[in-house]
Amino acid sequence: MKKVWLICTLLLILTGCSSQKKMVILNRETNEVTVKKGQSFEIEFLTNASTGFWWQLTNESELKVVSPQDRRYESNAPVGMVGASSHLFWKFEAKEKGKQTLKFVYARENWDQAIRTREVVVTVK
């Protein structure tokens, strides 16, 4: 009976691990990523929210191939420390086959003072 329980437990664990979607990593040198339909990927940005500037997706209304899913910040700075950089992660999911360019600006809320831009080309197979 213990063997049956152990085998069932191992099968459940292995099934759970294999059903999780693999996160795809963006090629930082080319700013390109290739994913399969249904896969998720993240784009990492270095940011400093205390300056009033942050990375914004400018063409979200045009997106057909991918869909934004989430944004999260990570920082190693002590809480309340002003001027410390952090990492912003935009998470996307591949919805349809095709090619899409994601356009970002590092700007204040009104986008008229953009100090950086970045384009990421996504291919969904």
Going along the chain from its start, the domains and CATH numbers come out as: 24-124 (2.60.40.2020)
Least confident range from 64-68, 70-74, 80-84, 109-113: namely 109-113
Report, as an integer, the average pLDDT of 81-104: 91
> Using CA atoms, how far apart are residues 98 and 64, in angstroms rounded to an integer?
9
Q: Which residues contact 50 (CB under 8 A, 6 or more apart)?
A: 82, 83, 84
The pLDDT of residue 17 is above 50: no
Q: What is the pTM of this model?
A: 0.74
